[in-house]
Structure formats: structure tokens, C-alpha cells
Amino acid sequence: MILKELSEAIGVSGKEDAVRKIILAAIQDHVTDIRIDPMGNITALKQGTDKNRPRVMIAAHMDEIGFMVTGYDNGGLIRFAAVGGVDDRILPGLRVKIGDDQIPGVILWTPIHLNRDSKVVKISNLRIDIGANSKDAAKAKVNIGDRIAFDSEFVELSETTVRGKAFDDRVGCSLLVDVLQAEPYPVDILVAFTVQEEVGLRGAQVAAQTLNPDVAFALEGTTAHDIPNPAADPDDDDEHNPTCRMGSGPALTVMDRSMITHPRLLRFLRETAEQNNIPYQLKTQLGGGTDAGQMHLAGAGRPAAVISMPCRYIHSPAAILSKVDYQNTLKLIQAALHHITFEVLR
């Protein structure tokens, strides 16, 4: 598992180079036909052992949410905008890294002494402080358009729990690397490490058209909101809306904003999990979309499904996931690759 390396690499949408480099090194001895398309997607083939099986595309996205430099204040503070979906309210006080040189900065905030009554945080009112005391000093260090990422270390919190940034979707990338590093499967795997998912599922659209698979899977990191609902009675343990729970196994999407999962494919995944004693959960929250939303529509269309790792606090510098969930997710993907046939899809 190369999750630590992938989590600490910086790859805000449209600038996935560092992640691509790590993945290429990890897969090059295990696949053929490696290509980097004009968008920056990595595509490759892991040849199967059985000619009469469906060709299975598996996608994981390399990009992460972040920010971009948009300007400078006269005093040397940096103006910035979001790249992908970010909750402005979590930003004040966070450490960030800017551009290829990873210039360190902190998102400024108004100290509590001066700010007791303000309830609204808007990114347009925030700035990044890089220690520059004039516009020229700031310009000398960072450029307009530079990507900005959370400054976050990967940490083992316990034997089974890890913390880090960008688990959405470096955990999917790490799982896909593990899938590829194993012995061949009966099916051909059409591999896609995609770009620009967080800004509109763009890389996957191109990769799916190129690869033209019979069936497609997206491996994702998804929201485990199994924490107290602030609006609920604090003494009632059941009063929350978990979406999915960390520690309860891979989440299988029934429907989201981008796709309704092909019912036979969903049933196949559920049966595969049950037959192999792998815990799983169903995800029905309609917000959010994944690369599967593009893959199932590309060309003449095809069945697609999403297999997700529950992660708490995604789209923040400190997401948390369970290594037990990781192993169960890997088991489910590998079992599916061994058992899927054209019969399942008809």
C-alpha cells in the first residue's frame, strides 16, 4: 500500500504531475500499453488469462481539491479561489503550500478577540500570508495561477486508523495500484488514473471513450458522516445521518448525482461480497458524483458501479480512514474481477 506517499504528494486538479510520477513507478512492471493522454490521464492494460470475459475499466482519480492564486494585496497577502468543492468555513488558520516550490503559507483569520460576533466565512474575504510584506515580495515567490494545497502529513493514529489529506481519491489510486501489482485476473483490466475529477469528472470522460470497456468501476473515497448531528439531541446516539460509516466496509453506490448504478452490476457486487464474507454498505446519498458518472455515458454506454472507501472529513487537510475497510475494499474488488462474466451484465 502506497497510500502515505500518494497522500503527501500534491496534485490539485489540472496539476497532477507529482501523483502521476509515483503511480507510473508503482505500476510499470505490472501493466502494458502505458499511455499518458493529452489531458494527463494514465491509461494502461493488465492482460487477463481468459479471452471470453468482459473487459473491465477501473478508474481512480489522481487530482485533489485545493486552491489557485488569483492576485496580491498591496501588503503582500495572497488572494485565492477554490479548485473543486471546499467548505470556506474550515479554512481560516490552515497551513497551505503554494506552487511547484511549495511555498509555505497560512490562511489568515481574524483573532477571536476581534471577531466574537462574525458568523460568516467567505473565501473572497480570506487571504494567504506567506510572510511577504509587499506586493513585489509576494510576486517574487508565487505566481498567479499557482495551485495551492493543504499542508498535511500522513499519520498513523492507531493500528487500524490513518489520517491524511486527499484520501479522496488517493485511497482509490492506492487500491488500484494494489490490484495491478497482484497476479493477473481472468479479465483484462483497462486502467485509468484520471485527472480533473474534482472540477467536473473531465479526465474520465476522455479515458472511457479511449478505452471503450464492457463494464466500468470507479474506486473512490467517500464521505463517512458517522458523527453527531449538531442539530440533534446530544443524548440520542441514533440521531445522525451517517451517509456511510467508517469501519463498516466498502460502500456501494445505489444512486448519486451523476449516475444510477446498473441494477445487475450492483446485485453482482452485493452477492460477491456476501459469498466472500466481506462487509459492505449501500450509499444512497444523492449529492456528489464520481468518474462512473462519465464512464457509464461514454460511447454507446455501459454498466458502471462505484466502490468507495468510507473516509471521515474528506475535502479537508485531515481525513481519516480505516485500514480494515481498505483490506475489505481490496478483497471485494479482487473477488469481483475473478467472478465477473458477460452473464452478469446481460
- Determine the Cα–Cα distance for residues 161 and 173; give it in Å rounded to an integer: 18
Percent helix, strand and coil across the chain, each rounded to 5? 30, 25, 45
Question: What residues are paired with 125 via a beta bridge?
Answer: none
Let me know: does 173 contact 330? Beta carbons within 8 Å: no
- In this chain, which stretch among 76-84, 119-127, 165-173, 318-326 interacts with Zn ion, using CB under 5 A? 165-173
| Residue 278, helix vs strand vs coil | coil
- Given 169, 188, 256, 325, the residue binding Zn ion (CB under 5 A): 169
Q: Which is nearer to Zn ion, 168 or 178 (CB)?
A: 168
Catalytic-role residue among 16, 153, 159, 197: 197
Asked if 256 is part of the footprint of Zn ion (rule: CB under 5 A), the reply reads no
Q: How far is the CB of 167 from Zn ion (least distance, A)?
A: 9
Q: Which is nearer to Zn ion, 169 or 178 (CB)?
A: 169
Q: Which is nearer to Zn ion, 64 or 146 (CB)?
A: 64
Give the up-direction half-sphere exposure of residue 283: CA atoms within 13 A in the CB hemisphere: 35
Q: Which is nearer to Zn ion, 7 or 76 (CB)?
A: 7
Q: Which is nearer to Zn ion, 132 or 306 (CB)?
A: 306
Binding flags for Zn ion, 262-281, as an x/- string (CB under 5 A): --------------------
- In this chain, which stretch among 166-174, 175-183, 249-257, 293-301 interacts with Zn ion, using CB under 5 A? 166-174
- Determine the Cα–Cα distance for residues 306 and 314; give it in Å rounded to an integer: 17
- In this chain, which stretch among 12-20, 162-170, 259-267, 278-286 interacts with Zn ion, using CB under 5 A? 162-170
**CA 41 to centroid of chain Cα atoms:** 15
- In this chain, which stretch among 39-47, 88-96, 164-172, 319-327 interacts with Zn ion, using CB under 5 A? 164-172
Let me know: does 42 contact 191? Beta carbons within 8 Å: yes
- Determine the Cα–Cα distance for residues 305 and 98; give it in Å rounded to an integer: 35
Q: How far is the CB of 152 from Zn ion (least distance, A)?
A: 17
Q: How far is the CB of 122 from Zn ion (least distance, A)?
A: 25
- Given 16, 63, 64, 168, the residue binding Zn ion (CB under 5 A): 168
Give the up-direction half-sphere exposure of residue 143: CA atoms within 13 A in the CB hemisphere: 5
- In this chain, which stretch among 107-115, 160-168, 207-215, 242-250 interacts with Zn ion, using CB under 5 A? 160-168
- Find the distance separating the first CA and the last CA of the chain, reported in whole Å: 35
- Determine the Cα–Cα distance for residues 192 and 63; give it in Å rounded to an integer: 13
Counting residues that bind Zn ion (by CB under 5 A) gives 2
Backbone angles phi, psi at 305, to 5 degrees: -145, 160
Our answer to whether residue 197 is catalytic in this structure is yes
Q: Which is nearer to Zn ion, 248 or 308 (CB)?
A: 308
- Determine the Cα–Cα distance for residues 35 and 45; give it in Å rounded to an integer: 10
DSSP class per residue in 257-310? SS-B--HHHHHHHHHHHHHTT---EEE---S---THHHHTTSTT---EEEEEEE
- Determine the Cα–Cα distance for residues 204 and 181; give it in Å rounded to an integer: 22
Closest CA to 248 of 219, 220, 280: 280
Q: How far is the CB of 51 from Zn ion (least distance, A)?
A: 33
Q: How far is the CB of 329 from Zn ion (least distance, A)?
A: 14
Q: How far is the CB of 234 from Zn ion (least distance, A)?
A: 31
Q: How far is the CB of 80 from Zn ion (least distance, A)?
A: 21
Residues serving a catalytic function are 197
Binding site for Zn ion (CB under 5 A): 168-169
